[in-house]
Every structure is written in C-alpha cells, then in structure tokens.
Structure 1
Amino acid sequence: MSRRTPRRTLLTAALGVTAGLAAVSPARGADRPRGTAATAATIGSTVSNRSWSSGLDWRTGAARGVRVRDGLRPGIALAEPAGTTDYTDPHTGTTARWEYATWTSPVHTLPTPANEVIASWNAHTPQGSWLQVELRVGYTDGTVSPWYVMGRWAAGDTDIRRTSVDGQGDTKTSVSTDTLAVDAEPAAAGLRIAAYRLRLTLHRRPGTSLSPLVWRVGAMGSNVPDRFTVPASEPGIATGRELTVPRYSQEIHKGQYPEYDNGGEAWCSPTSSQMIIEYWGRKPSSKDLAWVDPAYADPQVCHAARYTFDYQYQGCGNWPFNAAYAATYRDLAGVVTRLDSLTDAETLIAAGIPLITSQSFLPTELTGAGYGTAGHLMTVTGFTADGDVVAGDPASESNAAVRRVYRRREFENIWLRTKRYNASGKVVGGTGGVCYVYFPARPTFRQLWALRAVGISC
C-alpha cells in the first residue's frame, strides 16, 4: 500500500461567480471549452480535463525559443535558448547552468469553476535535459495566483532528481505534492478556480543540441461534491468483460531498494503502472534493467519504482509522475483525471482501456481486500457478469493472488467519495475518483470515442 498523505477534503460552496480572466489572459485570447464529443459527453460533470497535444494546439501557445515538431506525434522542442539559468538541486546540493526555452498555453476557462487542479504531461528527456511544469490560475473573484511549480521532471535521475515543490501558496490556494487546491476558508466562502494557464520550461546543457520533446501537457480541474457516499451506478456496457492485464504483486518486493519509498510494500502506484504499461505491449529492455539485482523477480517493478520516485515527497505515488513514466514508453500517452462513476470506467473497459484508481478505506469497507489503507492504487481490468469490479490489486501476497473481485457498490463508494472516517473515527479526505488512464498515442476510433466520452481529449 502507498504511504501517500491523503488529499485535502473537498469543500462544497455556492457557485455562479463569473471569472476575472483578464488577470491571466494571453496575447492570443482565451482557450474556451470546445463543442467536441469530450465536452458534450460530460455535461453535468464537475470534471474538465484539457490537454494540448496537436500541432495546432502547440501553435496556439506563446513560445520563447521553442519550436513545434510536426509528425505522427506532434510536440515541442528547444530550438534557440531564451536564456540561461543556474539550478541548485535541493536533493543533491549540486548547482549547474542550463539553457532554457518556454512555452505557455492559452488561458483555459473551466466549464465549472474548480476547487482542485492537477497537471499531467508526456515527454522525452534525453540525458542532459529536463523540464519544469508550472500552473497559474485565475480565481472567481477576479484575482490571479502566482506561478506554481507542479513538477521538475526528467525521465532519468542523473541530471536532476525529479521533484515536487513544497511550501507554495498565496492565502487562497496551495500545492500539496501534485495537486493545487483552494484552501479551506476561501473555499467555504465560495472562492473557486475559474481558469488556468500552463507553462513549460525546457532545459538542456549549454552548448548542446539536446532538448526535451514534450508531446502532451494538460490539467484536470474539478469541483467534486463533498460527500461520504456517492450515487450507485447500474451494471452497463462492460458487464462480463475482462481485459487480459499482467498481474504483479508489490508485496514480493518488500525490502528491495528501500531508498525508493521504503521498498516494495509502498509501491502500489508503480506496480499498477507497470501492469498497464505491459498490457499495451511495452516493457523496459534488458539494458534498462541491468541495474536491478538479478535475484529479484519482476525487475521491471523495481525499475518503475525508481523512475516514478519523487525525491521531495519521498514516495512513488506522485500521480503525474506515474503518468509521465508510462508515456516514456513508445507511443503511449498518460493522463491523470477523475471519473464520475463506474459507468465511465465501463466505457473505457468496453473499448479495451484499463485504468488505475486511487482510493482509501477501512478493512470493513471493501469485502475481500483483507486490509485497510489511507491511500492505495490498483488497476480496474473488467467487470463480472453481475457488474462487480475485477481488479488487479498489487497489495497481494503473490502475483497469482493479484486478481480480485470487489463488490461494485463498495468499490464505487470508496473510490469516488471525498470524505470518510478513518480507524480513529476522524473525518479525513478521499480522492473523489482520481485515476490514471494510459492509452495509445494514436488510438483506434473506438478507443478515441471512449476517451472523449469520459472527457479525455486526444
């Protein structure tokens, strides 16, 4: 199980205040919700996931030293440096000079003002390069936040140590690892996030032609109702459908590489990620795995833990870092989002797309689990003929025991709620339906339809 700190409790408040977009307005105007299948299919949802990934998308942003690379998978790369900067890595103490260039998105106006925003990105960073992802939001009172660092990231760990940044806030919002949230008092008074911009800063060693290549960046804004219980969904389109997903246990890695979140017992997130990555036919090479002790089974799970590890959070459960890790594999994309019900999960499963869900629960709240947790990731790989959830639960004693069947009503509630009681009877938060979705960068028509139906643009 993960030792991730539970997310703040989401607060409900009256909406209806118009956004003051001038505070974050770009030179080329605001990027407003489109009349696409994604927005049409999610009417009534409080969740909005907007990504920039096409050549047209990249050209709508404000670029300083960045060029658009067209092709089957368009992206942006560093062309001419906009300047140089010195960065002292807080986890190594090493200071180095880097050339950099920036790309800034248009303003995205949220269909429903949000109390949380989570960014995610897909990129390639060759050795000698890295990127920084920042988020700036406009509030419903017309004011604007500072730029928040949502991640300093590299696929490897030799140039910088990938990290979240603690201690960021402006009396209205603050960053908790990978999530920007409206603080409790402003939220209770009705303040929400009305719009946001993203900024990418691409770094490389001076005098080289290296560059990160960013294929996708986006963010999910949501205002999930504050609740201990959620409405029950009925079995639907994926009833009786189960995908053939590899099964890996985190528990067989106990004690291995304790420098990465105390070893395998806390590796639910990278273990789940590795299951889905391999479902799509990708896997690290033998060269990639050469650093792992050959006596260890399933060395790719150790590899996933190392390359999702957040050196500030001191864990492998940073949500966007897991999605970014998945996208380092050939032609895979990954996003962090929220879904509204198991009906949405069925839409993905019916199209052949498994997902990874984040939840917390007492032992009595999930029949058959045999444990309780303050935060845990597992895969959803199908549904039984009765509509119950078929899960790949890495908190199992062996790979053979990973396949579990959990009662639909129980699973849906522990995943989608925003409040719960812990073992001491204290009210604590829930994730409100957070999940990772990994899919081909060039999805089939059926996959594309399913992704758009749950609000994921491609």
Structure 2
Amino acid sequence: MTHNAPRRAVLTAALAAAAAAATAHSASAAPASAAGGTAPSTLPVPAGHQATTPDDAPVDYHGWTSYPDWLFGEHRGTVPVPGRRPGVRIARATGTLDYTDPHTGTTATWESASWTSPVHKIPHPASELISSWNADTPSGTWIQIELLGTYTDGTATPAYIMGRWTAGDGPDDIRRTSVDDQTDNKSSIWTDTFSIDDTSAGPLLDSYRLRLTLFRKPGSHLTPTVWRLGAMASNIPDRFTVPASVPGVGAGVELPVPRYSQNIHKGQYPEYDNGGEAWCSPTSSTMVIEYWGRGPTAEQMAWVDPSYADPQVDQGARYTYDYQYEGCGNWPFNAAYAATYTDMQGVITRLHSLNDVERLIKAGIPVITSQSFLASELDGAGYGTSGHLMCIAGFTPEGDVVANDPASSSDDAVRNIYKRAQFETIWLRTKRINASGGVSGGTGGVCYLYFPAKPSPAQRRALASVGIA
C-alpha cells in the first residue's frame, strides 16, 4: 500500500473518463481494512460499464533506443553516442537556464542542449500518456522530459513537463520532481501522467514528440547520457470488470524473485515518506532489481541506519522519491532508478491481460503491477488499498497469480497466491466501487518492466509481444 494513496487515487481517478466524474466520490483517505470493508465480494456493475475486450483498449508504447533512432529528430547541441548501448548526450551547450529549485530554494544557472524526437503518430487516439526514460546523470547534471502533443482537432498541447530527473541528490544536484498545475482545459498532467480532461467531449491525443533537455553546470565537461526515451499512449475505456483470461504458457512457472516486506520499514526516514505502507513501489522495484543480480553496494548504502533490515529498500525509497509528489510512487522515477544499475532497462506500459504477463514470466521477466481494491475483492490479502504495487513472480499450475506482495508482515510472508480472476480485475479495471460506496479510479493495467540492456532472444520476443522493442 502507499501512504500517498489519496494522491495516487486522485491520479488514477483522473485517468478514468470524465463522463463518470459527476457521480464519482473521492477515494477514502485511508485504505479499507480487512475488518472495515463492507462492500460485498461481488460488486454491482453500473449499466454501460460491462467488461471490455483487449481490442477495445488500445495501448501503444514507442521508444527511441537505437543509434539510428538518435540520429533522427532535432538536435540542438546534442550528439548520438554509438556503441553497445547507444544514446544521446551533450556535445555543446546551446542555452542556459536560471532554475530556482522549489524544494531547496537554491537558484543556479545551468547550461543545456536538447533533442526532440520525430513525430510519433499514435495508431489509435489516446486519452492518456506516460513517458519513461533510462539515463546516466553524473553529479551536477540532470534532464527534463517534455511532451509536445497534437490533439485530434489539430491543435497543440502545451509543452508539458513530464519530469525533472537526476539519479542523485547531492549538493550539486537538483531535487527530482514532477510538476503540478499543468493544464490547458483539454488535458492535464497528474504527477507522471498526461490525461484528457473529458474523453466524451474533448479531443484526444493524436500524435506527439518528446523533447529531452540535458543540463549541466556551466563550463563543465560532464553530460547526462540518455539510452532510452519513450512513452505509452493508451485509450482504456471505463470498465469495472474485465474478461477473465484462460491460463496459458506461464501456468506452473515461478521465478526466484527475492522477497522484501515494506511493512518492516514503518517509521524509517520521514524525509522519504516514512517507510511502511508508503514504500510499496521502491520495495517492489528492489525485488526485481535484485532478481537481475543488481543492487546498491555496501558503500552506497552506508547512510542507512545499520540497525535497519534490508537497507537496499531504504536506498530504493531515497532514490525514487519525488519531492513534489512527496512520495516514492512516481512510476517513471522507479523505472529510471532501476536503469541506473549496470546494463538495466526500465519501462512503464500497460498490458491487456495476465496472458501478457505469462509470456513475460515464461521468458524470465517479472512484472510489477499497480492496483487498488477492497479487502473483500482480493482473497488472502487481508487489507484494502487505493493504490499499491506488487510483483508478479509467477503462476501456479492452475494459473493463479504468485505475487511477491510487499504489504506483508515480514520478508517470509511476502509470497502470496491470489485468485487469477480477482487479480486480473483489480489490476485492469479503470473504475471501482470504493469503501464509501462511491466510484474511484483504477490504473487500467499499468506495470513496470525491468530487463537487461541486452535481452536474450526469448526475452526480446516476449517483450515484442507486449509492444516493447
């Protein structure tokens, strides 16, 4: 669960179509407990919101990662970097910015260069977009990602800032941050997500470019290097239920993903949102990073109180923390953190069903999913939440979900088996009945995918099957 559930609940509610907003109630300020959940286990589905099929919910991830990718687009002082991991970096500064960090009050001058992607035409008009990136940012450097979109009515979006990010938080670094209060009355930015304000009345997103600006201290020869920049654009309809998928290639496959509890960190580091229920995202990220044999060194974790168990989770919380959101649940910041480890990539996308997850699990790729639910909707969880991340590590032979759920009392209790149909519904829906009997939002299948910079052939095929190249 996330201590920032009310803020993430606002975000996920915004992702749902505004046609239902007039009757929606805000999410409960606190997760519904197992004892306090009063809704029946089978919730009524309002008329017009029955299950949809995957074809009714288009998802398009597009990324720029290869040397030819970086050759195209508009370079203003940037240059493509060839080699085993192609990217883009500063060749010469072409601009300056006096930036007052809203989280430190410090004003500093930064020199910059930029790369703007070619226009990407979305195969289906989109109501939401989430960008993600993988980069190296030496101390004293940072990056900004902007969305430059075109609506289906031919007009342009503002230059929306999707994130200001750096890997570190030292004295020479800005504080990584989302940017609030961005809107043009057609669309808005909700922490890490572009969302059409009213999908029933307003235009949708037709195409976009991503503008990447790289910053460094004036006169420095350091530069960020960006290896992957992409976005997931989707149009997930209002839905309270989804069709149940039939167990497939992942049935009986379980990956040896390490197990870490977020709850044993309760009260740790209030400056990073106080541990415990607030740390589901970095705890899940840590599990998968370690599954791939990566993780912070003892030297990097030396700042953590030595009496704390699993200091790598504290490390993940510190370096995924969004100083504007005031939490560790910024989806792209988690993917970017995973990619700070050697030869790792991180992507945010949406999947259509657990069959997509099965193909990834079969190829050895765990999947971190985002969902919200009442205690009565997920047997065995023992809690309810308006926003929670957990890791799918595999499937039972019968096709039920083997989840490393960090909302557990200890590391030993992290492995849980959840009923397939229940899990699929709470993850894929965009609308749900909350503990107060009102309507709240759901994430519509959001997931984190972390995988090697050089995936195996089987892993490349599995990733391609869900739109990741």
Q: TM-score under structure 1 normalisation?
A: 0.92
Deviation (angstroms), 1:302: 0.1
Deviation (angstroms), 1:136: 1.4
1:445 paired with 2:457, answer yes
User: What does 1:251-266 correspond to in 2, within 5 Å?
Assistant: 251-266=263-278
User: What does 1:26-425 correspond to in 2, within 5 Å?
Assistant: 46-158=58-170, 159-184=173-198, 187-189=199-201, 191-425=203-437
CA distance in 1, matches of 2:166, 2:90: 15
Deviation (angstroms), 1:326: 0.1
Q: C-alpha offsets along residues 241-265 of structure 1, whole Å, 9 cap, x if unaligned? A: 0000000000000011011112232
| Shift in alpha-carbon separation, 1:83–1:189, aligned structure 2, 3 A | same
Contact 2:57 2:237 in 1 (8 A): no
Q: Which amino acid aligns with 1:160?
A: I
CA distance in 1, matches of 2:377, 2:207: 37
Contact 2:15 2:195 in 1 (8 A): no
Contact 2:349 2:447 in 1 (8 A): yes
CA distance in 2, matches of 1:12, 1:243: 39
SS in 2 for 1:188: coil
Deviation (angstroms), 1:44: 6.8
Q: Which 10-residue stretch deviates more, 410-419 or 251-260?
A: 251-260
SS in 2 for 1:400: helix
Contact 1:12 1:226 in 2 (8 A): no
Q: C-alpha offsets along residues 256-304 of structure 1, whole Å, 9 cap, x if unaligned? A: 1011112232100000000000000001011110111111110000000
SS in 1 for 2:131: strand
SS in 2 for 1:145: strand
CA distance in 1, matches of 2:341, 2:253: 26
CA distance in 1, matches of 2:333, 2:168: 12
CA distance in 1, matches of 2:370, 2:194: 17
Deviation (angstroms), 1:93: 0.4
Q: Which amino acid aligns with 1:10?
A: A
Contact 1:12 1:225 in 2 (8 A): no
1:10 paired with 2:10, answer no
SS in 1 for 2:283: helix
SS in 2 for 1:216: strand
CA distance in 1, matches of 2:334, 2:367: 13
CA distance in 2, matches of 1:439, 1:83: 35
Identity within the alignment, %: 64
SS in 2 for 1:197: strand
Deviation (angstroms), 1:225: 1.8
* Structure 1 stretches of 4+ moved >6 Å: none
Q: Which 10-residue stretch deviates more, 298-307 or 77-86?
A: 77-86
SS in 2 for 1:51: strand
Aligned length: 427
- 1:36 maps to none
Contact 2:242 2:428 in 1 (8 A): yes
CA distance in 1, matches of 2:57, 2:137: 35
SS in 2 for 1:437: strand
CA distance in 1, matches of 2:349, 2:78: 27
SS in 2 for 1:200: strand
Deviation (angstroms), 1:153: 0.3
CA distance in 1, matches of 2:197, 2:78: 35
SS in 1 for 2:402: strand
Q: Which 10-residue stretch deviates more, 151-160 or 42-51?
A: 42-51
CA distance in 2, matches of 1:240, 1:398: 25
| Shift in alpha-carbon separation, 1:104–1:80, aligned structure 2, 3 A | same
SS in 1 for 2:437: coil
Contact 1:276 1:354 in 2 (8 A): yes
Q: C-alpha offsets along residues 198-243 of structure 1, whole Å, 9 cap, x if unaligned? A: 0010000111100001000000000012100001100000100000
Deviation (angstroms), 1:83: 1.6
CA distance in 2, matches of 1:190, 1:129: 38
Q: Which amino acid aligns with 1:335?
A: V
Q: C-alpha offsets along residues 339-396 of structure 1, whole Å, 9 cap, x if unaligned? A: 0000100010010000100000000000000000000000001000100000000000
**Structure 1: gaps of 5 or more residues:** 14-41
CA distance in 1, matches of 2:462, 2:155: 36
CA distance in 2, matches of 1:416, 1:236: 18
CA distance in 1, matches of 2:241, 2:120: 31
Q: Which amino acid aligns with 2:16?
A: L
Q: Which amino acid aligns with 2:387?
A: G
- 1:26 maps to none
CA distance in 1, matches of 2:443, 2:89: 34
CA distance in 1, matches of 2:299, 2:323: 24
CA distance in 1, matches of 2:353, 2:277: 29
CA distance in 2, matches of 1:179, 1:190: 17
Deviation (angstroms), 1:43: 7.2
- 2:441 maps to 429
Q: TM-score under structure 2 normalisation?
A: 0.90
SS in 1 for 2:408: coil
